[in-house]
Structure 1
């Protein structure tokens, strides 16, 4: 038994956390290749290495997956200090390089000199598709940095190959990620790039992207559905997600054939980001249309009703509670006034006021108000539909 335990301990030394072992990098300059400060690691690796996210058979395992910053030309290297077969004859290590090769498209190199040659060609890389939006972000280190958002599709020369390299990042940063079939012409791609200077030339670095699928809605509309969205880790926390989502919403809102914009299985972070962006757009609409907050709220509730599947019990409940929360405002005000009255009214007068504000009655009145509001909203939505 002691011998078995000793063996298990020795074998355990050859287990590596794959989230730590995988080293990702976006390379702009040759010196970045050896600079550990530019390295980042996955949040997830279970789709490649199993739920435990462990690779067996190596000590000091390092899986280097480096990309040129713009075109995402790739180098793959696997390094380790020792291998289990060097100590134990009958134990085989995991085929880690083979697992990575399953998701990295053909065309990558394993040679550093070849990778540097690819890096030198970055000056030829230009963003794909149509420029939608340009914005700046202030950096204490670099000053004002300029970013661009482009819309691309499968007709852009070289884009399909680029997208194959770009989507490999999904496996490391989206828990339930899956690759899409980009040959379907219903896909739209929105890409974020940073403009930067290198030896006096303007170059572009990939920052993140979003994929959107255009579903058909009878008789002549489309419903764009956001599939996946990712801002690469070196750029996270700088507001690029909000800029991207706002640009995408503005693009589709400008198309008459678009009925509404949805998201496929949105994460909690995505929902929060979408709420922030839409509230920001609502504020802008208020400023331009000169409508007050109360009117803007009603417009929001109408549009949300139009986009909500009220046959879905959970969605209908969420909508009902959201509207009732607003309608409950006057009742809350009465409660505050009642609290003040307690200090100055005689007991019999207080009882009289409390009788007027019975909780059950409040709920009944609230439900009546809700039904009236929804009926009004439905008539407006029907009128909009008849004019479409």
Structure 2
């Protein structure tokens, strides 16, 4: 049995030429109407055959249900009239039948215009049916004229609509291009348009010298760190200096909503900020916020004071700092710390909030002690650090410094150095502390830690200038761990820094020996892979996958040189600081 597509290809080939015959067809159509009785008698067998086929063929889904029922009924009527020779009844049934067929054709044409799927098959089917029916030429021409007129009308109508949509789209694009410059100016830098202040008194609200901006905003406003849709935007995030109660306010001259007539919406600003804050810990009403400022003089530092330090800044102003170790069991402190750690997302890359309910956390907070306008002492929060106490077999703990932040107004005053020294001072007397580490340190933090550890180890016997050039040894690891709780990896790093400190880089042999020592450590992993390959060769194990991952000897030499230069440059910065 031939497929529907093959049958359709054999039929309906005349429509492509119908447009040329429209005028002639319309003239012929006016000369004759319904088929004559003689045609019925003459073409009776063929006509009956065509209508029997139509009766068997399932009506297309383009026919509505009631039209499919009518088509089936009138097909039976036409067959009956052909058999009995009823000319009048046959003429009426044929008229109804062709009207139904034209309605179906209209739907098919619309499908062709909108979907363009298998449209030629439908036309071929109709043409074939007309040809096989054996009707007179003038009747076929009349049908063809009606079909052609309908087809070209629908196509022309669709093309006109397409032109209208295209022109409308073009006009909108031109309008958009004209406005794009204005809209581009509404894409704002969230780092520059968000302002922070630490408020100690009401007069600070108007003091622009206290303003500081976040270092990053991607965790709040997305990777682009931008805010869209405002002119003259200013986002103000205010903290009371001591208890850190928060106010969020937004000011702007105009929004894109008004400029675009509501077609374009400005970004929501307060909600993404509020979502990163603990529930209910911020104000949007200034009067309510100022009420908390009136009570700020009653704020007292949490925890137990460990140490204190006096620092003079570049302007000659003296600051007095106190560091406290805080207890997680105090509910008031946990609420305070939830507000304090909101700074971390703006000033430490890839940082996240910690679970304050975990008892393994240890908190260290720094406050500045200052005199208010009445001459009374108050405390302002200046930064914090945290450590997590990991278990170490069999009965030890291994504290790991997790976060360290000095608020921007108090940076470059030695608070970071004091924090690390304070953490060391806190854990050194604890017998079951094995050693200490840092969790995923940033480059700046690692440099600070290296400087502090190198400065501490300079006083140890095993790191003396007469011993250190003999090479790294276990005595260094033991003494650094027992004295300052340094882990072996950090101990090796300190050794390399101090050896560079004692090395005469202008002495060829001395400098060459140092370079070789550092490069042996950098190359250790590469040689381990080489040894693994040799072991696999002896065991007759496939080693090609491992060899493919290794660079060639010449490539490795280049990589090693780059790695060493990077390490030495970082060490030189610390050595220069040790020499000051």
Matches within 5 A, 1:122-201: 122-139=296-313, 143-198=317-372, 199-201=374-376
What is the correspondence of 1:199-218 to structure 2 with a 5 Å cutoff?
199-218=374-393
What SS class does the counterpart of residue 158 from structure 1 fall into? helix
Alignment-derived partner of residue 16 in structure 1: 188
Please say if residues 463 and 476 of structure 2, whose CA atoms lie closer than 8 Å, have aligned partners that are also in contact.
no
Alpha-carbon distance change, 324 to 23 in structure 1, aligned in 2, over 3 angstroms:
closer
- Indicate the residue corresponding to 1:28 in structure 2: 200
**Counterpart mapping for 1:154-303 below 5 A:** 154-198=328-372, 199-283=374-458, 285-286=459-460, 292-294=464-466, 300-302=476-478
TM-superposition CA deviations, 1:13-70 (whole Å, max 9, x none): 2211100111101011111111111010001000111111001111121111100001
Q: Which residue of 2 aligns with 1:348?
A: none
Residues 356-367 of structure 1 aligned to structure 2 (within 5 Å): none
Q: Tell me the residue number matched to 2:270.
A: 97
Corresponding residue number in structure 2 for 1:342: none
Alpha carbons of structure 1 residues 320 and 264: separation in structure 2 relative to 1, 3 Å: closer
Could you say what secondary structure the match of 1:40 adopts? Answer: coil
Q: Does 1:60 align with 2:232?
A: yes
Deviations 1:327-356 (A, max 9, x none): x979996848xxxxxxxxxxxxxxxxxxxx
Go from structure 1 to structure 2 and tell me whether the alpha carbon gap of 1:321 and 1:225 turns closer, same or farther (over 3 Å shift): closer
In proportion to residue count, which structure has more strand? 1
How many residue pairs align between the two structures?
334
Q: Displacement, 1:130?
A: 0.8
Unaligned runs of 5+ in 1: 310-314, 337-356, 368-388
SS state of the match for residue 409, structure 2? helix
Are residues 13 and 258 of structure 1, via their aligned partners in 2, closer, same or farther at CA, if it must alter by over 3 Å?
Answer: same
* 2:217 aligned residue: 45
- Separation in 2, partners of 1:181, 1:269: 25
In the alignment, is the contact (CA less than 8 A) between 1:15 and 1:59 conserved in 2? no
The 1-side partners of 2:310 and 2:450 are apart by 22
User: Could you state the TM-score of these two structures normalised by the residue count of structure 2?
Assistant: 0.53
Contact kept, 8 Å, 1:40 with 1:233, in 2: the verdict is yes
User: Aligned equivalents of 2:387 and 2:438: distance in 1?
Assistant: 9
Structure 2: any 5+ residue segments left out of the alignment? 1-172, 521-580
Matches within 5 A, 1:70-89: 70-88=242-260, 89=262
Structure 1 244/14 Cα, relative in aligned 2: closer, same or farther at 3 Å? same
Q: Does 1:118 align with 2:118?
A: no
Shift of the alpha carbon at 1:104? 2.0
- 138-147 or 32-41: which moved more? 138-147
Structure 1, 137-146 or 210-219: larger mean CA deviation: 137-146
* Displacement of 1:4: 2.9
Matched with 2:35 is none
Q: CA deviation at 1:153?
A: 2.5
C-alpha displacement at 1:177, in angstroms? 1.0
Q: Deviations over 1:62-88 (max 9, x none)?
A: 111100001001111011111111111
Looking at structure 2, the residues matched to 331 and 127 of structure 1 have their Cα atoms a distance apart, in angstroms, of: 49
Distance in 1, matches of 2:318 and 2:442, equals 31
Matched-pair contact (CA < 8 Å) for 2:463–2:498: no
Larger fraction in helix? 2
- Measured against aligned partners, the alpha-carbon deviations of 1:331-384 in whole angstroms (never above 9, x if no partner) come to 996848xxxxxxxxxxxxxxxxxxxx9x9xx979x98xxxxxxxxxxxxxxxxx
Aligned CA RMSD, in angstroms, stands at 3.4
SS of alignment partner, residue 194 of structure 1: strand
The alignment partner of 2:344 has SS state of: helix
Quote how far apart the aligned CAs of 1:144 are.
Answer: 3.1
Larger displacement relative to structure 2 (148-157 or 172-181): 148-157
Greater C-alpha radius of gyration: 2
8 Å contact kept, 1:301–1:323: no
Q: How far 1:162 sits from its partner (Å)?
A: 0.6
* Per-residue Cα deviation, 1:81-140 (whole angstroms, up to 9, x for no partner): 111111112111111111011012213212222222211211111111111101101246
TM-score w.r.t. length of structure 1 = 0.77
User: Structure 1 331/128 Cα, relative in aligned 2: closer, same or farther at 3 Å?
Assistant: closer
Question: What displacement does 1:157 show?
Answer: 4.1
